[in-house]
A = this chain, B = another copy of it.
Amino acid sequence: MFEWTLDAVDGRARAGRFNTPHGVLETPLFAPVGTQATVKAVTPDQLRDSRASLVLANTYHLYLRPGVEVIDQLGGLHAFMGWEAPILTDSGGYQVFSLADRRVIDQDGVTFRSHLDGSEHRFTPESVIATQEMLGADIIMAFDECPEPYDHAYNREALARTHAWAARCLAAKKRTDQALFGIVQGGIFPDLRQQSAEFIGGLEFPGNAIGGLSVGETKDEMYAILEIVDAALPQSRPRYLMGVGAPEDLVQGVLRGVDIFDCVLPTRMARNHTALTMAGRMNLHKVLYREDSRPLDPACSCYTCRNFTRAYLRHLCMAKEMLAGTLLSIHNIHTLISLMRQMRSAIVAGGVEAFSTEFLSTFRDHRPEDI
């Protein structure tokens, strides 16, 4: 269980396999986000058709509603949401620390008020592990603090808590059928990131995550941090870059040793009527798609591209039909997952650099209406 196999390495990029109780994850991979135990607007069948292998759910949201006891009572998160493939839950830390004036941090944990009804709750490393054990995901996350990225003094102080909490999470864990991943923090600061990657990578986590990125820093700052963390983390375990989903960042992340990504980007863009293609973003409101009989991406094999034209999708968007969000979500998820599968093939073939250069220039320089 939780065996990690490196099938190929090409530069810093890795093609791996991670065994979980609900199936083998082939990496690099992109995981769509099902915040409230549903990837918004799509069914589990549609997710499978989009070739999703791993889905993320948010512990903070499910803890508040419907409550983890309800999900436990109904057989755990897989049965509850009808997704029998691997699931990852976050620790709830990111959401709790985002509550700003609704939370108080101490050395032992965080006391916060629900964004739903103002009720008071407390998360500690131990409670967060217990909650995730009740949810029953295949991969669970350590409780960490995710601070603003630019304050060195505060990041140093928060990092001490994150490291202490990581060790407490490992000690609190009881179930053996869940992989607990540690999380590297440290803002945009090379010294803190180096220290954190060494500390977290030195603990007995079967996988390591990189948190606190894609939270306001520049892309160059993010890529620089990834290089430091990549060099410091053990090669012998998978790495998960949290909350990153822009196509160019997935590619840059894979080139810097990242194996797993998650983000709301493809589904949120879909609900805002933007399609992701290998040649850039496509705003479906544009009048030029009014009678365009082509699929979103002629090279794409998703349900949406197999069955519908740009003109029809534009009509659904203009008419504010729910089906627009569904069909664009299916396509956008499929696109990011296909991109990761193509990178995997390129890594195995030893051509990831050429593939990435080609993709990044097409994605930057072409217009989707020309493909």
A61–B75 alpha-carbon span in the complex (Å): 45
Q: Of the listed stretches A6-14, A321-329, A350-358, name the one at the interface; the rest are far from the partner chain.
A: A321-329
What residues on B are CB-neighbors of A61 within 8 Å? Answer: 319
What residues on B are CB-neighbors of A36 within 8 Å? Answer: 315-316, 319, 321
CB A330 to nearest CB in B, in angstroms, measures: 9
- B325, A66: Cβ atoms closer than 8 Å: no
What residues on B are CB-neighbors of A37 within 8 Å? Answer: 312, 315
- Band of interface residues on A: 35 or more
A293–B38 alpha-carbon span in the complex (Å): 17
Interface string of A282-316 (1 = CB under 8 A from B): 00000000110100000000010001110110111
Interface string of A68-95 (1 = CB under 8 A from B): 0010011100001110000000000000
**Contacting residues of chain A (26-80) with chain B, CB-CB under 8 angstroms:** 36-38, 40-46, 61, 65-66, 70, 73-75, 80
Contact A326 to B319, CB < 8 A, known contacts A45-B303, A291-B70: no
A318 at the interface (CB under 8 A from B): yes
Closest to A38 in B: B323
- B323, A325: Cβ atoms closer than 8 Å: no
Contacts A/B (CB < 8 Å), 21 sampled: A36-B315, A36-B321, A37-B312, A40-B321, A40-B322, A41-B322, A42-B323, A43-B303, A43-B326, A45-B303, A70-B290, A70-B291, A70-B311, A74-B291, A74-B311, A74-B312, A80-B309, A80-B311, A80-B312, A81-B312, A322-B322
| Chain A residues proximal to chain B, CB less than 8 Å | 36-38, 40-46, 61, 65-66, 70, 73-75, 80-82, 290-291, 293, 303, 307-309, 311-312, 314-316, 318-319, 321-323, 325-327
